[in-house]
Amino acid sequence: MSLIVFPAIDLKAGQVVRLAEGDMDRATVYGDDPAAQALLFAEAGAGHLHVVDLDGAFAGGSVNGEAVKAIVEAFPGYVQLGGGIRNREAIERWFDFGVARVVIGTAALENPELVREAASDFPGGIVVAVDARDGMVATKGWADVSDVSIVDMARRFEDAGVAALLFTDVGRDGLLKGCNVEATVDLARATDIPVIASGGVAGIGDIRMLAIHAKDGIEGVITGRALYDGRLDLAAALAVAAL
């Protein structure tokens, strides 16, 4: 089984940024043309892209909508979008515009029926974000931490028809500490839903380890800062993930 590599484009005030541990005050700007960045990833061989409206995650609704639309128009592959998607109207709007998958986090915890209905109506299109601080689900742009464990959260949707779980270890995100492979594999083994790994990817070693565990239910990996900082070559990552 091959692993999908999702280069990440995180949007803040229309710019391409990366945060450290989800902290909006610890943002590094990598560019002011998100569509151009999407094209660069496509030229390197990426067929999938993970886009996050960071401002939207905190605001609870689309903030960087124009930048997202520009990315979707420019990128020839599949775009997965998260950040502030918390109602049916927003879900439908992005599918209508051409987004392949939408990621639902806060609303999945607070309104699970929304996820169930959307997963039924848009087969293969709904991803549930399971963002964790110390094993507990974090919401609202990771600003709040719930009393729900990530495994309990995941199991709530096993019969809902969601396409995947997006697991992020918030404490590692944007810090290049290395992906929490052990926790990702544990989650994949604990549920029947494919898992996408995110947070802390530092280099090709993380891609290789996750690819080894694709058979355990790991569908893909999201990587951002390692690409932008030149610590990870996208073409090399895609080659390792395809083995």
Give every CB contact of residue 72 below 8 A, 6+ residues apart in sequence.
79, 97, 98, 99
The verdict on whether 131 is a catalytic residue reads yes
3-state class (DSSP) for residue 198:
strand
Strand partners, 133: 136
Ramachandran bin of 45, using left for φ above 0, alpha for ψ from -120 to 50, beta for the remaining angles:
left
Pairing relation of β-strands 218-223 and 195-198? parallel
Please name which of 57, 6, 7 lies closest in space to residue 170, comparing C-alpha atoms: 57
C-alpha to C-alpha distance for 44 and 239, rounded to whole angstroms: 11
Determine the Cα–Cα distance for residues 138 and 153; give it in Å rounded to an integer. Answer: 11
Instruction: State yes or no: is 10 an active-site residue.
Output: yes
Backbone φ and ψ for 200, nearest 5 degrees, come out as 90, 5
Q: Which of 131, 169, 173, 206 is catalytic?
A: 131
* Whole-number Å distance between alpha carbons of 63 and 76: 23
* Catalytic sites, residue numbers: 10, 131
